[in-house]
Structures are given as structure tokens and as C-alpha cells.
Copies of this chain bind each other. A is one copy, B any other.
Amino acid sequence: MKTANHSNRGMGLENDINLTNSYYLEKDIAVIYKKPTPIKVTKVSYDCIGNKRVKDAFYEKPSTTDYNGLYKGKYIDFEAKEIKNSNIFPIINIHKHQIEHLSRINKHGGIAFIIVRFCNNNTTYLLEINKLISFIDNNKRKSIPIEYFEDCGYIIKESYIPRLNYIKIIDNIISKENLWKNLKGNSKSL
């Protein structure tokens, strides 16, 4: 069984997340999908049995993120990025409008974050959007060192099945949120 795990290691973060999401769906744990890549079609043709086929198109800039879905009644939204040969995450990797989108999701009560894998270290982190924005607001640097992910993010452990069990981290985030709500509620009632 372990051989299969290792032999698939090179298949990348996107593949790991897709396999994990399929597992969540199959086990009825969460409903999270990768959105299709936005493509602007400019020319189509029809084959002999009338099926439409795209003959010219271009890739559009994504206006939102790659993944969204639902877990325990919570709206989940995230973008995933892989860093090949370095221990820093260039902020330019996430478009400005994607950061704005994630920030909006956070404001409206969803759970918004990025998942970043540093391939050099073979380590994958989940960083909440408020932590990403806090770094951008308080630093002049154009890239985030891995140490910031270590200090302010969560490590997502790799395993065989599910490949990248990020729902565990979301459970943590939900518990923290509930704790805060209760504390706020109690301080109001004092």
C-alpha cells in the first residue's frame, strides 16, 4: 500500500486536494469541488452528429479562487499554490482580486484560506486569510518566508487516505470561532 503512496508523490498539490475532496464526498464528510478553469470561447464548430466542439478560446483571469464548498454548514473557500524550489512564498502568486474575494468570504461568515506546499521541504500549510492580510499590511516584503507559515499557519499532514486531511484544521478553526462567540456572549451577559 505504501508503494502506491510514494509512487504518486510527484503528482502535485492539486491532485492531492482533488483526491481528498473525492474522499470527503464519498464518505459524506464535506462537499468541496474545484471550480472549472474559466475559458472564453470565441469559435465553435459542430461535428457530423451535431456535437458542439470548441475551436478557438483563451484562458480568462479567474475572478475568484480554485476551490469552494460546504462543511458542517460552513462555507469553505480557498486557493492552493505550490512552491517548487524555494522557502519563500511570493505574494504575487495570489492575485489581488483573489485576496479581496477571500477577505469578503471571511467577512460574510465563511472560512477562507490558502493552502501552500513548499516542495523543497515537502510540507503543506493552511494559512487563514486574516493571517495573510496581516502579513501584507505589516510588512514591506513582497514574499512570505516559510517561518511565517510555521508560526501563524497550520501544517496539513500527508497520509495515504485521505491524502491531505485539511478538514481536521477546519475543525480547529470552527472550534476557535465557537470559543470566541461564547466568550463574547459571556462578556455581554456580565
Contacts and interface: CB of A to CB of B under 8 A. Distances in A.
B58 A54 contact: yes
Interface in A47-68: 51-60, 63-64, 68
Copies in the complex: 2
A70 B63 contact: no
Given A53-B58, A110-B70, A101 B31 contact: yes
A108 B72 contact: yes
A28 B60 CA distance: 24
A58 B55 CA distance: 9
A9 interface: no
Interface string A89-107: 0000000000001001101
B54 A56 contact: yes
A53 B56 contact: yes
A32 to B, nearest CB: 10
A41 interface: yes
A170 to B, nearest CB: 13
A10 interface: no
Contact of A53 (B35, B53, B57): B57
Contacts of A53: 56-58
Contacts of A73: 74-75, 108-110
Given A33-B63, A54-B58, A73-B74, 8 more contacts: A25-B104, A35-B35, A36-B36, A36-B37, A53-B56, A55-B56, A70-B108, A73-B75
